[in-house]
Amino acid sequence: MDRRRRRSGALALAACLGVGAAALAEGPLPLRAVGWTNPKADVAAVLTTEPTECYAPTDALRAPAEIGRAAFRTPVLLGGQAARAGLSCESCHRGGRGNPEFLFPGVSGAPGTADVTSSLFSSHRGNGRDDPVPIPDLSGERARLKVAPQSLEAFIHGLVVEEFDGREPAPAVLTGLADYVRSLQPQACPPSATRPVSVSGLLDDVDRATAAAVSAPDEATRLLMIAGARARLGLIDERFAGPAFAAERHALRAADAELAAIAGAVRSRRPEARQRLAAWRERLSPLGLQLGRREGQSLFDPKTLRTAVEGRLPEGAS
Ligand code: HEC
């Protein structure tokens, strides 16, 4: 088999799909986020730690900000190429902050930058120029941010609909995203700047997204919250790769299939949907216990992930 030809075919395909071309060309990605992480960085270290969130909603903002928090982590909020690649707001603004190692071929210049008028993501905004700028820390000093708090709705609407070709977001989702960003502030940063990426952290996101789904004011918002929970389950699933983790993946996929069925019940306005969602949430903590037992051998472990990342180097490279 002519590996070189196959690889350049994969490259061209990756380029037109808008996924991490450089990474794809070298073999299967252990995690999708490898495709938008600077390959010159310590990829395993970057993907097993994350910035801690500086989030302190006021009591009045808590419910909408929780909707926004989940939407921020949901790829299908963004449309087109970004959603297909698995990108969400949080891919660039990790933990509501920045991402110094973000590197997306065709969208980034130096690591940590992105061109938010890139025609790759947008059929509206593409200006045909390559003008990537640093991804700002949304939890940084207010004085250093460009968008005034009262303009966040309009700015984020433009991002979702024009820049990322997303569908018109439900009003509660848009307000929620703006309230989430308003609830990020430097005074709320925890003492430790980073924390490990973990099953419990991702399941906490699932728990909160599904709580937001239960109390969502309308169907479109409820469906987006469920999609957000499913996306977080997917991020756990990809770290339990390989035959050794068949039982864990089975449990995850059964939970995901039930969520998909609940989304179907929401769509067809079946009254039992809410009850099923509440019952589903009850089963999250046993799932967490089951997954937590094997977490240390999975791709949540930096050493294991490092081996998997190195394993995709071209044959004969070592
Ligand atoms: C591909 C990476 C990327 C994604 C995905 C992304 N952003 Fe950004 N974001 C940026 C960059 C780069 C800027 C700086 C733009 C500028 O300076 O013109 C930015 C700026 C912002 C700002 C303005 C910060 C300021 O200076 O006041 C907000 C708010 C924001 N993003 C929120 C979001 C939300 C909400 C989403 C999801 C709907 C999102 N971003 C998705 C890269 C990204």
Q: Is 107 exposed, middle or buried (0-12, 13-18, 19+ CB in 10 A)?
A: buried
- What local confidence, expressed as pLDDT, does residue 318 receive? 37
**For ligand 1, is residue 159 a contact (CB within 6 Å)?**
yes
- Lookup: tokens for 58: 């006021």
Q: How far is the CA of 135 from the centre of ligand 1 (A)?
A: 7
**For ligand 1, is residue 161 a contact (CB within 6 Å)?**
no
- What local confidence, expressed as pLDDT, does residue 45 receive? 97
- What local confidence, expressed as pLDDT, does residue 120 receive? 67
- What local confidence, expressed as pLDDT, does residue 5 receive? 32
Cα(251)–Cα(316) distance, rounded to whole angstroms?
37
**For ligand 1, is residue 138 a contact (CB within 6 Å)?**
yes
**For ligand 1, is residue 225 a contact (CB within 6 Å)?**
no
**For ligand 1, is residue 46 a contact (CB within 6 Å)?**
no
Query: Can you tell me which residue has the tokens 């937001």?
Result: 212
Q: Are 210 and 221 in contact (CB under 8 A)?
A: no
Nearest CA to ligand 1 atom 3: 92
Cα(81)–Cα(163) distance, rounded to whole angstroms?
11
Q: How far is the CA of 136 from the centre of ligand 1 (A)?
A: 7
Nearest CA to ligand 1 atom 17: 133
- What local confidence, expressed as pLDDT, does residue 18 receive? 43
**For ligand 1, is residue 273 a contact (CB within 6 Å)?**
no
Cα(81)–Cα(18) distance, rounded to whole angstroms?
6
- What local confidence, expressed as pLDDT, does residue 8 receive? 32
Nearest CA to ligand 1 atom 40: 89
Q: How far is the CA of 281 from the centre of ligand 1 (A)?
A: 31
Q: How far is the CA of 139 from the centre of ligand 1 (A)?
A: 12
Cα(153)–Cα(177) distance, rounded to whole angstroms?
8
Question: In tens digits, what is the pLDDT along the chain, a chain of 318 residues?
Answer: 333 333 333 333 333 344 444 444 456 889 999 999 999 999 999 999 999 999 999 999 999 999 999 999 999 999 888 999 999 999 999 999 999 999 998 899 999 999 987 666 666 666 666 789 999 999 999 888 999 999 999 999 999 998 898 999 999 999 999 999 999 999 999 999 999 999 999 999 999 999 999 999 999 999 999 999 999 999 999 999 999 999 999 999 999 999 999 999 999 999 999 999 999 999 999 999 999 999 999 999 999 999 999 887 544 443
- What local confidence, expressed as pLDDT, does residue 121 receive? 66
Nearest CA to ligand 1 atom 33: 89
- What local confidence, expressed as pLDDT, does residue 163 receive? 87
- What local confidence, expressed as pLDDT, does residue 119 receive? 64
User: Kindly report the CA angle at 16 between 80 and 22, in degrees rounded to 5?
Assistant: 110
**For ligand 1, is residue 279 a contact (CB within 6 Å)?**
no
- What local confidence, expressed as pLDDT, does residue 106 receive? 86
Q: How far is the CA of 318 from the centre of ligand 1 (A)?
A: 39
- What local confidence, expressed as pLDDT, does residue 28 receive? 82
